[in-house]
Amino acid sequence: MKRSTIALIAVAGLATAVSAQPARPLSATYMITSSNDVIQGVSETTTISLWAIWVDPAMDWVIGAGNYDLNASETGWVAGAEVDVLEGPASSVGVLAGASYTGASNGQLHIPIIGFIGVQDNPILYATYEWTTTDFTIRTIDLTTSGTFQFQVAEWGDPFGSPPTGGRTFQLWPDDFTPGSGSFEVIPAPSALALLGLGGLVALRRRR
């Protein structure tokens, strides 16, 4: 994803005001969750959800824009199965290359003065992806984000006031942003685990 595309959201967010100066530092990251913490033989596919999350006890914000590469420790992404959830200008699920989706970006407009009101969820769901395998060797699949050059929030203000307020933007990357991470386990089906246990018991008896 080229910087020019994600910048479309940033420019729109700046349409009504200068960049915001928060009362205290913000922090932000990407949170990665899996619909199945364990993939076990009969359930070989899991849905990976990527969330944007930020913390600022002093002010209310909405997500403006962010970008990322989503990486797995091995191949398994299901091409074409992703669902782009947050679909503001320049949003994209990225391009699948090996074990990574590269150049993904998501965002929304929050410019109350001209009627654009963003979703205030925090965490907010960016996008979902599918990962699958037919290899049930016991292992951990690690998930990370990288390649971020934009994580922007917009001031909530009073978008329903008269006149509406809010919409000033603030960039959290790189000083107040931490890349995201997550993981899930792959294990054999219950019957295979039982066989593994039986094999171990037989080997133990033989040693005795």
- Is the pLDDT assigned to residue 75 strictly greater than 60? yes
pLDDT above 70 for 118: yes
User: Is the backbone of residue 14 left (phi > 0), alpha (psi -120 to 50) or beta?
Assistant: alpha
pLDDT digits (tens, 9 = 90+) for 29-49: 999 999 999 998 877 899 999
pLDDT at residue 4 greater than cutoff 60: no
Calculate the CA 181 to chain-centre distance: 9
The number of domains in the chain is 1
102 sits in the region (left: phi over 0; alpha: psi -120 to 50; else beta) called: beta
Q: Name the pLDDT band for 207 (thresholds 50, 70, 90).
A: low
Using alpha carbons only, what angle is made at residue 51 by residues 26 and 66, rounded to the nearest 5 degrees?
A: 60
- Going from the C-alpha of 79 to that of each of 83, 95, 97, 128, 146, the distances in angstroms are 11, 9, 10, 12, 20
The rounded distance, in Å, linking the Cα atoms of 27 and 116 is 25
User: What's the domain range around 112?
Assistant: 3-207
13, pLDDT greater than 60 = no
**9 vs 75: which has the higher pLDDT:** 75
The pLDDT assigned to 18 comes to 38
- Which CATH number goes with the domain that contains 127? 2.60.40.680
